[in-house]
A and B are shown apart, each in its own frame.
Chain A
Amino acid sequence: MKAFQQNLKQLEAADTQVLGVSMDSPFANKAFADQIGVTFPLLSDWGGDVTRQYGIYVDKYKAARRVNFLIGKDGKILEEQIDRDAIDPKKIVDACERKKVNR
């Protein structure tokens, strides 16, 4: 999440809204956001319905996999970063920048 915060200006300049999602409660997520200085919304998928809908619920941990989806204005998925690759959002930031240039 911190890595996205560091790239937030670039992402916003490329018309991109960042949303964190986890299965924590809204209040835990707010406390987490304050602690690490995140200013974008951290959404609460309490119960995990959306996590399951996106096919990334891990039964063993009772939580989501670490996955970043970049979704275009048409609602289609443009990029995916999965597990360890999802820690560094560079690929997504680059993809947004490319779209900005191509437009």
Chain B
Amino acid sequence: MRRKSVSTIWGVWLLTAAMVCPQILAQDNKVQGNKPAPVPMKLNVGDVAPDFKLNYFDGSDLKEVSLSQYRGKSNVVLAFYIFAFTGG
């Protein structure tokens, strides 16, 4: 009698697990999807881009460039990339 009720409890537990597990897995897949979950950006569209001064080497001299030098004159694309000599 006792053994029977234990196996019934196991049976119910397994059934529940079988029903719930695929849902959990499905949710997990939904979150992960093909793209990694987006990390929130500190700066968003509409924010003022912080000014900076950075150098580049033009072949003979180091040249300084600031973001503010383009203010009122032209748009600027700032293309951050991970390392030199990598793709993209």
A-side residues, CB < 8 A to B, are 1-4, 11, 14-24, 26-32, 35, 41-45, 49-51, 53-56, 61, 63-80, 82-84, 86-87, 89, 92, 96, 99
Contacts and interface: CB of A to CB of B under 8 A. Distances in A.
Contacts of B72: 73-74
Interface of B: 35-36, 38-39, 41-52, 54-59, 62-63, 65, 67-68, 70-85, 87-88
Contacts of B58: 30, 41
Given A32-B84, A73-B70, A4 B78 contact: no
Contact of B78 (A11, A27, A69): A69
Contacts of A63: 82-83
Closest 4 CB pairs of A and B: A55-B42, A32-B84, A26-B57, A43-B54
Given A17-B70, A53-B52, A80-B41, A11 B77 contact: yes
Contacts of A44: 54-57
A23 B86 CA distance: 13
A96 B76 CA distance: 10
For B39, B78, B85, B88, which residue has the most chain A Cβ atoms within 10 angstroms? B78
B75 A51 contact: no
B75 A96 contact: yes
B56 A69 contact: no
Contacts of A79: 45
A71 B52 CA distance: 13
Contact of A68 (B43, B56, B77): B77
A73 to B, nearest CB: 5
Given A15-B74, A19-B79, A75 B67 contact: yes
A1 B88 contact: yes
A22 B65 CA distance: 14
Contacts of A14: 75
